[in-house]
Amino acid sequence: MSSTTENPTGTATGTAAEAAGSTGAAGTLLAYGRNRIDRARGGELGSAPAVAGLIVLVVFFAIVQNGFLSLYNIANLVTQAAPIIVLAMGLVFVLLLGEIDLSAGTASGVCAALMAVMIVRHSLPWWLAVIAAVITGAVLGFAIGWLRAKVRIPSFVVTLAAFLSFQGVVLMQVGKAGSISLPDQAAKPIITLEGYNNNLMPLWLGWVLLAVVAGGYALVKLRMSVSRRAAGLEAEPPLVTIAKTALMVILGAVFVYLLGENRAIQQNAFFNNLKIEGIPWVVLLLIVLTVGLTFLLSRTRYGRHVYAVGGNDEAARRAGIRVDRIRISVFVVCSLLAAVAGIVQASQLESVASNFGAGNTLLLAVGAAVIGGTSLFGGRGRIMDAVWGGLVVAVIQNGMGDLIKGANSQAWQWIVTGLVLLLAAGFDAASRRVGKGDSR
C-alpha cells in the first residue's frame, strides 16, 4: 500500500510534505498553491470534487426547477440530508480501514425501534430510551468488530449477516402494527430535532452559533499554522486561513438569514399569522458531531492510529499499535452513530416502521461518504466528506423528485444517484492509481 495518506487537517504527510519541505517554499502563498496543485495531480483532491459537484447541481436545479431555492425547500434539504450525513460519518471510520459495514442501516433501525418501544409500550422517559438506543448501537458495533478482528471473518460477510438479522429484529420489535408512532408529548424533545410544530432554534442562537463556529475555526487553523511553522513543517498561509474563514462567515450568514425569514407556505385569510422561522435543531447536532469527530480523528492519538492502520496495518502493528482494538473500535463508532442516525430519522418521520433502516438507507450513506471524498480502499477520508457527500445526495434526491414527473420519476432519481456514486468511486480508483504512479 502507499505510504502517503491525507490526514483530516488537510495537510499532506509523506511524500507531498517532504517535497514541499525540500523546496523550502512552505509558508508562502505561491508555494502553497503550487503544492496544492502537485497534490491534486497526485490524486489528493479531498472534498473538492464533491463541493464542485454540489455547486453545479444547485445551479442546475435552480435553473430548471421553480421553487428549488425557496426558503421552505432549503430547510427541507437540511433535514432531508441530516440522517444520511450522520450515518455516513460513522461509515467514514470503517472505510478509513478499508472495511465496510453493510449493517449500519438496519442497526439504525434496531436502535430506533428499541427507542420507540421503550417510549410507547413501556412509557419510559425519552432520555432513557435514547441512552438505551445509543448503548445498543455500541454493543452491536462491538460484536461486529470483535467477529471481524478476532475471528477474522471478512467484514463484508459478517455485516451482511448482521444486515439480514437486524431486519428480522426490527420486524419483531415493531410487531403486527407495521409501525410505531412517536407520541407528541412523550417524545417531544426527539421529534423537535426536525422542527416539529415549528419548534426551531431561536433566531439569535443561529447568529451566536455562526460566530462560535467561525471564530473557533479561525483560532484552530491559526494555532495549527503556528505550531507547524515552529516544527519546520508546511503550514497554511494566513491569507488562505483568512479567506476560508471569510467564506465560511459569508455562507453561514446567508444561511442563517434565509432560515430566519418566514418560510410558511400557507399564507391566506386563515393562516396569515403562521410563521416558520429559525434553524432546525438538527443543524446544531450536525455541527457538534462534525467538530467532535473531526477533533477525534485529527487531534488525538486514537485518530492517528486509525489513519495509520488504514494506510498500512502491518506497518502499524510493527509500530506497536493495537490493530485489533482499532479495528473493533471503528465498528463501535459506526454503529453508535448509526443509532444516532436512526433517532434523527425517527424524528423526521415521527414514527418507526417495520422496514426502518432497510432498503436504500445504507446505500445512500455509503454513497455520501464516497462522493464526499472518502476512499473505499482505506487510509483517506475526513468527517467533512460525509457532510459534503450527504448534501450532494440530498440535492439529487430533492431536485430529481420534482424535476421528472410520472411513473418513472423515482427510477430516474435512482439512476442519477447511482451514476454519481459510480463516478465518485471511479474517480477514487483513478486518483489512487495516479498517486502510485500507475498510468495503466
pLDDT, mean of residues 230-253: 86
* 316-373 residue pLDDT tens: 999 999 999 999 999 999 999 999 999 999 988 888 998 888 878 888 898 889 888 8
* 386-440 residue pLDDT tens: 999 999 888 888 887 766 666 676 777 778 777 877 777 777 677 666 655 554 4
Overall pTM surpassing 0.95 (yes/no):
no
- What average pLDDT is seen over the chain? 83
* 233-244 residue pLDDT tens: 777 788 888 888
* 105-125 residue pLDDT tens: 999 999 999 999 999 999 999
Secondary structure of the chain in HEC code, one letter for each residue: CCCCCECCCCCECCHHHHHHHHHCCCCCHHHHHHHHHHHHHCCCCCCHHHHHHHHHHHHHHHHHCCCCCCHHHHHHHHHHHHHHHHHHHHHHHHHHCCCCCCCHHHHHHHHHHHHHHHHHCCCCCHHHHHHHHHHHHHHHHHHHHHHHHCCCCCHHHHHHHHHHHHHHHHHHHHCCCCEEECCCCCCHHHHHHHCHHHCCCCHHHHHHHHHHHHHHHHHHHHHHHHHHHHCCCCCCCHHHHHHHHHHHHHHHHHHHHHHHCCCCCCCCCCCCCCCCCCCCHHHHHHHHHHHHHHHHHHHCHHHHHHHHHHHCHHHHHHCCCCHHHHHHHHHHHHHHHHHHHHHHHHHHHCEEECCCCCCCHHHHHHHHHHHHCCCCCCCECCHHHHHHHHHHHHHHHHHHHHHCCCCCHHHHHHHHHHHHHHHHHHHHHHHHHHHCCCCC
